[in-house]
Amino acid sequence: MLRWTIIFVVIALIAGILGFGGIAGASAGIAKILFFIFIVLFVLSLLRGLIKK
């Protein structure tokens, strides 16, 4: 699960750089979506880690 979270944040950062840099307008929207997916996965990973202990 943590691996997917890291993958999503890297994709979101790349999409954000492309979108906010003016290269692709649609990348900004994708970056926002991926960022929120990252936040959800991060919270789930934290909760899973706390429950596992």
Q: What is the pLDDT of residue 18?
A: 67
In a domain, 53, yes or no: no
Listed in sequence order, the DSSP H helices in the chain are: 2-20, 26-52
Q: What is the pLDDT of residue 7?
A: 80
CB count in 10 Å sphere of residue 46? 12
The answer to whether 15 and 27 have CB atoms below 8 angstroms apart is: yes
pLDDT digits (tens, 9 = 90+) for 1-53: 678 777 877 877 777 776 665 666 666 677 778 888 888 888 888 888 888 76
- Per the structure, the complete domain to which residue 24 belongs is given by 2-48
Q: What is the pLDDT of residue 51?
A: 86
* Rg, Å, the chain Cα set: 13
CB count in 10 Å sphere of residue 36? 12
The answer to whether 2 and 45 have CB atoms below 8 angstroms apart is: yes
Query: How many domains is the chain partitioned into structurally?
Result: 1
Q: What is the pLDDT of residue 27?
A: 64
